Amino acid sequence: MSNKESTVSTQGSAAGALRLKPLPAIIFGSRWLQLPLYLGLIVAQGVYVILFLKELWHLITHAVSFNEQQIMLVVLGLIDVVMISNLLVMVIVGGYETFVSRLRLHNHPDQPEWLSHVNASVLKIKLAMAIIGISSIHLLRTFIEAGNVGDPERTSYTVTGIVLQTVIHTVFILSALGIAFIDRLSQPPAPQAPVM
């Protein structure tokens, strides 16, 4: 058999391997139904950019009249928007790569470092950590305003609300630890080097 015949035979068998029966093809192709969801998240990220610019403009125009606490609260709000936007990027890029189709970013200079080893487990842990970060920012903002509890003109927070936010944040942390622990249990143990 010549090289040309071998190549044609290999291409033919590869094309045959890519063809699926109708039902599996429909089931496998249904992953493309997620595409509008990821495109919608991109639109949502655009809305967050507008919100960020609005809050930044608010900070700039009131920089002289705001006290330190007010500036800190606005800056924490900006950080919150950035962290939520980072979460959106992780879901959009990681989710699309994991569940819809490969992005084929190999050797691209801007390829996220974490994308090369992303899978459903890694994505879950990264999302859990991002949610904890966002929750931490919200809790920090609450703690900054905690001194005004009891004065409805200066804050809308109550002692019960602060306690509940703290409990919810703790549940997020415990959930992330649980996800990481279960993921570690599901991984095969790494081979150990022999002791000399």
**Can you give the pLDDT at residue 13?**
43
pTM confidence score: 0.68
Q: How many CB atoms lie within 10 A of CB 116?
A: 10
Mean per-residue pLDDT, 75-103: 87
Q: Which band of pLDDT confidence, cut at 50, 70 and 90, is reported for residue 145?
A: confident
Give the SS3 label for residue 158: coil
pLDDT score recorded for residue 6: 46
With 50 as the cut, is the pLDDT of residue 114 above it? yes
Average pLDDT over residues 60-64: 92
Q: Among candidates 175, 167, 145, 158, which has minimal Cα distance to 69?
A: 145
Q: Give the whole-number percent of the chain exceeding pLDDT 90.
A: 21
Number of residues in the chain: 196
Instruction: Report CA dihedral (94, 99, 102, 103) to the nearest 10 degrees.
Output: -40
Q: Where are the domains of the chain?
A: 24-108, 119-187
- Chain segment 162-191, per-residue pLDDT in tens: 889 899 999 999 998 888 888 788 777 666
